């Protein structure tokens, strides 16, 4: 069992930066590919980014490529999402995920979900 707790969300202005974090419980953090999904009001949950177990491989949605960076610290059981040049369309609840199989963009591949953290980008 893995428990995921996100933090770091908030209200920012367009063009600002924000980093959200996800702390995982358990001793098997390094056994999972870690990812981020997001869901805006009235929209389906969508893939944002994923990082392999070792951190050596990362994949991004086209909408965030070049602006967002996913990273992980296996010693701290934590995964991060650095978001730069934020846009109002990035407004959503951001969910941390853990997957035993790397590195799919499908929600069906996710084994564990966090509770989500709200990111709001104003004009």
What's the mean per-residue pLDDT of the chain? Answer: 97
Looking at residue 113, its pLDDT comes to 98
Q: What percent of the chain has pLDDT over 70?
A: 100
User: Per-residue pLDDT tens for 12-44?
Assistant: 999 999 999 999 997 799 999 999 999 999 999
With CA atoms as reference, report the closest residue to 81 among 117, 28, 43, 112. Answer: 117
Looking at residue 1, its pLDDT comes to 86
Looking at residue 48, its pLDDT comes to 98
Q: Is the pLDDT at 51 greater than 90, yes or no? A: yes
**Six-digit token string for 89:** 């369309």
The three-state secondary structure class of 112 is strand
**Ordered DSSP codes for 29-86:** GGGSEEEEEEE-TTS--EEEEEE-TTS--EEE-TTTTTTEEEEEETTTTEEEEEE-S-
């Amino acid at each position: 069992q893995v428990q995921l707790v996100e933090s770091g969300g908030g209200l920012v202005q367009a063009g600002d930066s924000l980093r959200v974090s996800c702390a995982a419980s358990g001793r098997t953090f390094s056994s999972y590919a870690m990812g981020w999904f997001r869901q805006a009001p009235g929209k389906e949950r969508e893939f944002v980014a994923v990082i392999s177990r070792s951190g050596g491989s990362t994949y991004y949605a086209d909408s965030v490529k070049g602006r967002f960076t996913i990273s992980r610290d296996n010693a701290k059981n934590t995964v991060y999402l650095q978001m730069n040049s934020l846009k109002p369309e990035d407004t959503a609840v951001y969910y941390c995920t853990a997957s035993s199989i790397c590195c799919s963009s499908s929600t069906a591949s996710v084994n564990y979900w966090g509770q989500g953290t709200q990111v709001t980008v104003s004009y």
